[in-house]
Amino acid sequence: MITAPAISIRNLVKRYAGNGSEPGKLALKGVSLDVPQGQIFGLLGPNGAGKSTLINILAGMVMKSEGEVSIWGFDIDHDHRNAKRAIGIVPQEIVFDPFFTPYEVLENQAGFYGVPKAQRRTEQLLADVHLSDKARAYARTLSGGMKRRLLVAKAMVHSPPVLVLDEPTAGVDVELRRQLWELVKRLNDEGVTVVLTTHYLEEAEQLCDRIAIINHGALIANKPTRELVDMAREKVVVLTLAQDMAALPTHPAFVKCRQSDPRTLEITYNKDRTNAGEVLAAVQAQGLAIIDVTTREADLEDVFVTLTSGEYTD
CATH number attached to the domain at 7-229: 3.40.50.300
Out of 61-65, 122-126, 167-171, least confident range = 167-171
Q: Domain ranges in the chain?
A: 7-229, 233-297
pLDDT digits (tens, 9 = 90+) for 70-115: 999 999 999 999 999 999 999 988 877 788 999 999 999 999 999 9
Model confidence at 20, pLDDT cuts 50, 70, 90, reads: low
pLDDT in tens, 184-226: 999 999 999 999 998 889 889 999 999 999 999 999 999 999 9
- Cα–Cα distance measured from residue 72 to residue 82, given in angstroms and rounded to the nearest whole number: 9
Whether residue 140 contacts residue 150, with contact meaning beta carbons closer than 8 Å, is answered with: no
**CA dist., res. 125 & res. 155, Å (int):** 10
- Among 7-11, 16-20, 213-217, whose mean pLDDT is lowest? 16-20
Neighbour count for residue 138 (Cβ, 10 Å): 14
Q: Per-residue pLDDT tens for 218-250?
A: 999 999 999 998 887 778 899 999 999 888 999
CA–CA dist 13, 32 (Å, integer): 10
Query: Which CATH architecture does the domain made up of 233-297 adopt?
Result: 2-Layer Sandwich (3.30)
User: Does the pLDDT of residue 314 top 70, yes or no?
Assistant: no
Phi, psi of 294 (to 5 degrees): -135, 155
d(CA 134, CA 126): 9
pLDDT mean across residues, the chain: 90
Per residue in 55-67, pLDDT tens?
A: 999 999 999 999 9
How far is the C-alpha of 107 from the C-alpha of 124, rounded, in Å?
12
The percent of residues in the chain predicted with pLDDT above 70, rounded, is 97
Residue 238: strand, helix, or coil: strand
